[in-house]
Amino acid sequence: MANFPLPLADLLGHWGSYGVYAIIGIAFGMTLESAGFGNSKLLAAQFYFKDMRVFKVMFTAIIVAMTLIFLSSSLGLLDYNLIWVPPTYLWPGIVGGLIMGVGFIVGGFCPGTSLVGLATGKIDAFVFVLGVLFGIYMFGETVSSFATFFDSSNMGRFTLPELFNASYGVVVISIVVAALVLFVLAEKVEAMVNDKPQQRLPGWLKPAAGGLVALAAVVLIIGQPSNEDRWQAIAAESEAKLEGRAVQISSGEFIKYRDDSKIKIIPLDVREERYYNQFHLRGAVHVPLDQVQAKARELQFEPANTIFVTISNDEAAATEAWKILKAESVPNIYILEGGINAWLKTYAGDSISDEQRVYNRQEDQMAYKFNAATGSRHPAAAPSPHLLDLKYEPKVILELKRAPTSGGCG
């Protein structure tokens, strides 16, 4: 299975991981300074087409990182599902981009490059950073007045493959080729605006560009691993957990976490709609088995203290859903032991008569029949823990989840 991203905090400890971050930050700052990004005049020249180094340097970093990320994913070295992709808030993002663009033109810096300028003692960078801090303060004080717009048009983890309904390989090679073409055009625009002959490019650029296109072509040819591929990579370890009953939690443990204010529990009912309508646990989200994989990306955005519990009539469909979500790297996935049938047997009591019992049923079918769609209105849908004996073997262990990281232009 993929070995990356590395859990640095687990491997190196809290301060050890901070040391790695510091080294990366210093190296990044040095790179920006050596590219001239600490000079506001050079940065502002981008918007007058006199000096396109911002476009060329940053876009080179983007396409190289993109190609290596998806190549590593294709080869099974990196689990792309564990890389944080910020959710797309379309209209707030557009407005925010316009505001930042105007600030970039007027001030000559973006937030990241202003810190580079500050580190090298530039006065205009110091003034810009003060403006950034003041803007952050004002945003925090006023965001409640436009919170509805700020949280609007949430499209989730929406990327170019979803936008164009294309594979990651097609998108990667298309962006690489488009970027290289734009680099050539940028050189011509610079020469035209500055009214001087186009500079001769270093000899190593063409082989480097060809190598990048070749790597992008490999991404296209190999493709990204499917859910089945990911499952096969973790099957040995995961099957052992299933056979050892390490992930099948009892109804008592489920109820404990349901009533724990520090934990968010999301029951995922993967049964057919008719069964879900007849009876389901209060708060259960209906996700048919064939839609579980599509649901996985949405689940990645839940808080780190979230526990997901797959539910079916017995355990068959719930186990299949668990495998799909496990392969998609969704953390804290468990199965409700015995499913809805065991739940009703334990908590329904006198509310279900012997006449409602279904005999000679097939696996993962309801063991009780309902004359009406009771949904979560049935008394057994949310039994009170104060009336129950909640003795059980605890199995839930909260896994660390990939946290969101900051973004920006550098």
Residue 342's pLDDT band (boundaries 50, 70, 90)? very high
pLDDT over threshold 90, residue 283: yes
What's the mean per-residue pLDDT of the chain?
Answer: 89
Please state, in angstroms and rounded to a whole number, the distance separating the CA atoms of residues 172 and 161: 9
Mean pLDDT (whole number) for 329-340: 94
CATH number of the domain to which 283 belongs: 3.40.250.10
Q: For tokens 């689940």, name the residue.
A: 299
Instruction: Read off the pLDDT of each residue in 41-45 and give the average, rounded to a whole number.
Output: 91
Q: Do 212 and 266 share a domain, yes or no?
A: no
Could you tell me which of 292, 296, 272, 276 has the C-alpha nearest to residue 284? 276
Q: Is residue 397 part of a domain?
A: no
The gap between the terminal CA atoms of the chain, to the nearest Å, is 32
**pTM to 2 decimals?**
0.82
Q: How far apart are CA 327 and CA 238, in angstroms?
A: 10
**Alpha-carbon dihedral 61, 66, 68, 73, rounded to 10 degrees:** 160
Q: Evaluate whether residue 66 is within a structural domain.
A: yes
3-state secondary structure of 146: helix
Question: Is 24 in the same domain as 167?
Answer: yes
Residue 209's domain comprises 8-226
Same domain, 202 and 260: no
**Residue-by-residue DSSP string for 296-311:** HHHHTTS-TTEEEEEE
Q: Which of 197, 226, 255 is the last residue of a domain?
A: 226
Cα separations (Å) of 264 from 105, 196, 256, 297, 410?
A: 44, 63, 11, 17, 35
The answer as to whether 399 is a domain residue is no
Handedness of CA 301, 302, 307, 313 (dihedral sign): negative
Same domain, 174 and 251: no
Residue 1 has pLDDT above 60, yes or no: no
Residue that is last in its domain, among 195, 226, 257: 226
What is the per-residue pLDDT across 220-276, written as a single tens digit (0 to 9) for each? 999 999 999 999 989 999 999 999 999 999 999 999 899 888 999 999 999 999 999
Q: Are residues 193 and 291 in the same domain?
A: no
Rg of the Cα trace of the chain? Answer: 27
pLDDT at position 383, please? 85
pLDDT, tens digit (0-9, with 9 covering 90-100), for 79-137:
888 888 888 999 999 999 999 999 999 999 999 899 999 999 999 999 999 999 999 99
Cβ-in-10-Å burial (0-12, 13-18, 19+) of 233 comes to middle
Across the chain, how many H-helices and E-strands are there? Answer: 16, 5
The whole-angstrom separation of Cα 341 and Cα 334 is: 17
pLDDT at 219 over 80: yes
| 70 domain residue, yes or no | yes
Q: Supply the pLDDT for residue 140.
A: 93
Query: Structural domain tally of the chain?
Result: 2
Strands 306-311 and 264-269, by their bridges, are parallel
Mean pLDDT for 166-186 is 95
Q: How confident is the model over 11-40, as pLDDT tens digits?
A: 888 899 999 999 999 999 999 999 889 999
